[in-house]
Amino acid sequence: MAVKKLLLLPGDGIGPEAMAEVKKLIAVMNTQGAGFETEEGLVGGCAYDAHGQAISEADMEKALAADAVLFGAVGGPKWDPVPYEVRPEAGLLRLRKDLELFANLRPAICYPALASSSSLRQEVVEGLDILIVRELTGGVYFGEPKQIIDLGNGQKRGIDTQVYDTFEIERISGVAFELARTRNNHVTSMEKRNVMKSGVLWHEVVSATHKAKYSDVKLDHMLADAGGMQLVRWPKQFDVIVTDNLFGDMLSDVAAMLTGSLGMLPSASLGAPDPKTGKRRALYEPVHGSAPDIAGKGIANPLAMIASFAMCLRYSFNMIEEADRLEKAISAVLDEGYRTSDIMSEGMKQASTSEMGDAIVAKYRG
Ligand code: NAI
Ligand code: MG
């Protein structure tokens, strides 16, 4: 079986604590013949401390050569004073840019055991399993001009520019349609074509891409503001949502919070398929940050990192059975009452980071 090259970048704060639990899983899978070959690198504040950069050229090389990157978290107050160009977050931005990770996948899954702790009614979220596909490298966060102009009359003008080209919309909607085929075959595209030219183009290109290559998938269009409303009204109507960078930033945060704690939320960022091998560049990371307030205490919730690894199995290695098994293990361990402190509630079993990881490993092994 071909070797699967994984680069682990645990980063700062609770990043390494969460990554340690994934390493346990990798070890178990390797005893079952998975064939993971792991390398480790530095990113963020720890990389800055080691060599004055948020990620070294050598580690960038490793990231480019890997089949997938697993990323923990970066940052913390210790590095607040460091120069802007080498701040910890610069490491993540460099990875996203150099690997051309244009598709950000944020699932919102509601585990039955946690449904009662959602801010929405239990029946609205129970069993929820939707996927938001956010365009990550274009749109208003990157469009030019982007500046603040002094108008000279005591007024200033702040300008950001929403720009999308056909190819950017084609490739992100292609990712959404392909993922929908592996799920419930339904894509909802969200923009604001009623007030934005880029929204008119978005609608047009998504429709054309659908017609040309994915007409077996059900496609709906929704204005993004209405989409936000529908997400909190009846989120189970969705399967895959595809949207731009700005709307995706907000809608994915809303969708994520339907389902519970920051410590539970995984993500994937995918690039274009290699023309020769068909393999996509990919980086998997929890949505949460380095949580300096709890770092070093052994109490961080490792499930977001573990669920990110499950996404890695699914999307980078087509290990669907293993991914399903790992996701079921998370659900089962929660059903049994294991809780790290961020999701603790009365009558449940308090677990440390490593106790939670061990419980998942035991369940996964079966
Ligand atoms: P954060 O996500 O690190 O923490 C927010 C709150 O959630 C804290 O109270 C934390 O203890 C809790 N929390 C987060 N993850 C948890 C987990 N797995 N288990 C239990 N509790 C958890 O966000 P914050 O505090 O805004 O940022 C802290 C640092 O992380 C900053 O330096 C920030 O720049 C960085 N950051 C890095 C990100 C990344 O590496 N992708 C993303 C977000 C923030
Ligand atoms: Mg955000």
Residue 324 designated active-site: no
pLDDT at 344: 92
The C-alpha atoms of residue 118 and residue 47 are separated, in whole angstroms, by 37
If you measure from the C-alpha of residue 227 to the centroid of ligand 1, how many angstroms do you get, rounded to a whole number? 27
Query: What atom in ligand 1 is closest to the CA of residue 305?
Result: 18
pTM (two decimals):
0.93
pLDDT at 17: 98
Taking the CA of 245 as reference, the closest ligand is 2
Binding residues: 76-89, 96, 106, 134, 225, 249, 253, 289-301
Which pLDDT belongs to residue 301?
Answer: 97
Question: Mean pLDDT across the stretch 78-96?
Answer: 93
What is residue 258's predicted lDDT score, i.e. its pLDDT? 86
Residue ranges near ligand 2 (ion) with Cβ within 5 Å: 249
Q: 228: helix, coil or strand? A: helix
Query: Helix 15-31 crosses helix 303-315 at what angle (to 10 degrees)?
Result: 50
- The arithmetic mean of pLDDT across residues 262-267, rounded, is 92
Give the pLDDT confidence score for residue 167 in this predicted structure. Answer: 97
- Catalytic hit among 129, 160, 253, 342: 253
Q: Is the pLDDT of residue 31 over 60?
A: yes
Residues 142-179: tens digit of each pLDDT: 999 999 999 999 999 999 999 999 999 999 999 999 99
pLDDT of residue 303: 97
Count the helix, strand and coil residues of the chain and give each as a percent rounded to the nearest 5.
Answer: 45, 20, 35
Confidence of residue 108 (pLDDT cuts 50, 70, 90): very high
| Tens digits of residue pLDDT in 328-347 | 999 999 999 999 999 998 99
Q: At a CB cut-off of 8 Å and minimum separation 6, what does 176 contact?
A: 133, 187, 189, 240, 241, 242
Nearest CA to ligand 1 atom 44: 289
Closest CA to 107 of 216, 269, 281, 215: 269
Q: Left if phi > 0, otherwise alpha if psi is -120 to 50, otherwise beta: which for 12?
A: beta
Q: Which amino acid is at 274?
A: D
The tens digit of pLDDT for each residue in 275-326 reads: 888 889 999 999 999 999 999 999 999 999 999 999 999 999 999 999 999 9
Residue 263 near ligand 1, beta carbon < 6 Å: yes
Residue closest by Cα to atom 43 of ligand 1:
289
Lowest mean pLDDT among 25-34, 46-55, 216-225, 259-268: 259-268
Q: Is the CB of 291 under 6 A from ligand 1?
A: yes
What CA–CA distance (Å, rounded) separates 258 from 51? 40
Position 262 pLDDT exceeds 90: no
Mutate to test the pocket of ligand 1, among 284, 288, 293 (most ligand atoms within 8 A of CB): 288
Active-site annotation holds for 141? yes
Q: Given a cut of 90, is residue 36 above it in pLDDT?
A: yes
What is the percent of the chain where pLDDT is above 90?
89
12 part of the active site: no
**How many A from CA of 186 to the centre of ligand 2?**
25
Q: Using a 6 Å cutoff on CB, does residue 253 contact ligand 1?
A: no
Interface ipTM above 0.90: yes
In the predicted model, what is the mean pLDDT of the chain? 95
Query: What's the pLDDT at 257?
Result: 83
pLDDT value at residue 1? 52
218-223: strand order across its sheet:
36-40, 4-11, 68-73, 280-286, 266-273, 103-109, 129-135, 240-243, 186-191, 218-223
